[in-house]
């Protein structure tokens, strides 16, 4: 399967901005912020907040306009009611990849599905990629990117792509018991834009990946998934777990 666009800004961005970063213990905003700071000094991490002048000892900015340059990746940890508007703002600013954490879209019904598809179309029109919504984020240990709250995976050579957040947490705990490590973790969520098949196709050329584990509940394009799986045949292990047939 040939990629028609690059996922590099998602896996190895030159810089990152977090909308919704927080100091509140146990919050998603704090968990995302703390993990992304692990990637410094490999890449600068910025926090945008209209209410908090400082998060985790770092000054925030009220908008992307206050930054010297536009970050490549934006992680949006904001409520679902404002997520579409915030996504439009970062895409208008020139962000090349968006991770949309919030739930409350396609999994709730047709109206929510229409909203997430509009976000996906907007991202593609802007030449960007959108992961999610309703996802747990992304990790690339090779680039030092940790943008997945609550997921703590040891470094290694397994790429793990999952549609289930809770299963990912359990999988990570079990992997540590088995001394397994990971090159990437991708939580695709509702697959409004970036799909399991697209992530798998990108793993083919990722030298740090020697095996792939997949958990997926639905395939938007079964043929694309089949092509990606075929391209991965050279990897020593390919695990597929299906909750229901495509």
Q: What is the residue extent of each domain of the chain?
A: 8-131, 137-242
Instruction: Give the span between the Cα atoms of 78 and 63, in whole angstroms.
Output: 14
Q: What's the CA dihedral at 186, 195, 212, 205 to 10 degrees?
A: -100
CATH code matching the domain that covers 8-131, chosen among 3.90.1300.10, 3.40.718.10, 3.40.50.720, 3.30.1380.20: 3.40.50.720
Query: For residue 89, how far is the Cα from the chain centroid?
Result: 18
What architecture is domain 137-242?
3-Layer(aba) Sandwich (3.40)
Same fold yes or no, 8-131 and 137-242? yes
Q: pTM for this one? A: 0.91
Is residue 20 within 8 Å of 29, Cβ to Cβ?
Answer: yes
Instruction: Give the span between the Cα atoms of 90 and 133, in whole angstroms.
Output: 15
Tens of pLDDT, residue by residue, the chain (246 residues): 344 689 999 999 999 999 999 999 999 999 999 999 988 888 999 999 888 899 999 999 999 999 989 999 999 999 999 999 999 999 999 999 999 999 999 999 999 999 999 999 999 999 999 999 999 999 999 999 999 988 888 889 999 998 877 777 777 778 778 888 999 999 999 999 999 999 998 988 888 888 888 888 777 777 777 787 777 766 655 555 554 444
pLDDT of residue 239: 53
């Amino acid at each position: 399967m040939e990629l028609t666009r690059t996922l590099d800004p998602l896996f190895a961005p030159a810089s990152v901005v977090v909308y919704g970063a927080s100091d509140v213990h146990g919050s998603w905003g704090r968990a995302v912020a703390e993990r992304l700071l692990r990637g410094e000094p490999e890449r600068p991490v910025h926090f945008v907040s209209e209410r908090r002048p400082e998060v985790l000892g770092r000054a925030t900015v009220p908008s992307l306009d206050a930054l010297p340059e536009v970050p490549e990746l934006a992680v949006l940890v904001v409520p679902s009611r404002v997520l579409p508007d915030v996504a439009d703002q970062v895409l208008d600013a020139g962000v090349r990849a968006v991770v949309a954490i919030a739930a409350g879209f396609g999994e709730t019904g047709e109206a929510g599905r229409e909203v997430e598809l509009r976000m996906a179309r907007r991202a593609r029109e802007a030449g960007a990629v959108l992961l999610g919504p309703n996802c747990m984020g992304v990790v690339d240990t090779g680039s030092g990117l940790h943008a997945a709250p609550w997921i703590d995976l040891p470094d290694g050579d397994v790429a793990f792509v999952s549609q289930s957040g809770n299963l990912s947490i359990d999988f990570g705990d079990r992997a540590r018991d088995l001394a397994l490590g990971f090159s990437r973790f991708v939580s695709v969520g509702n697959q409004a834009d970036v799909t399991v098949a697209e992530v798998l196709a990108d793993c083919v050329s990722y030298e740090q990946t020697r095996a792939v584990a997949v958990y997926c509940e639905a395939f938007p394009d079964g043929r694309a998934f089949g092509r990606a799986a075929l391209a991965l045949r050279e990897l020593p292990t390919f695990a597929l777990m299906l909750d229901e047939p495509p």
